[in-house]
Amino acid sequence: MEKCSLFPGIISRLNWNFEDPSTFQGTDEQKKEKIKIVRDKIKSKVEQFVKDILNNT
């Protein structure tokens, strides 16, 4: 079960679905490469989020 932190006053929640690295199969090197892909996707999503926030202020 997924748990989200609660912050008073927050009126919307973001839910970004990324692959769970604990489920990756393969050699350590193959898993590492898959983890890097997820890391890069998270970075890209956060950067876009911040860019959107700054453009809307």
Residue 2 has pLDDT above 90, yes or no: no
Reported as a single tens digit per residue, the pLDDT across 11-55 is 777 899 999 999 999 999 999 999 999 999 999 999 999 999 899
Distance (Å, whole) CA 55 – CA 7:
24
Q: Which of 57, 11, 19 is nearest to 35 (CA)?
A: 19
pLDDT for residue 10 is more than 80:
no
Say what the pLDDT of residue 1 is.
Answer: 62
Pairwise CA distance, residues 34 & 14, whole Å? 23
Query: Which residues, including other chains, have CB under 8 Å from residue 25's CB and lie 6 or more apart?
Result: 31
Prediction pTM value: 0.74
At 4, the pLDDT band (50, 70, 90 cuts) reads confident
Rounded CA-CA distance 18/36 in Å is 12
Q: Give the amino acid at 28.
A: D
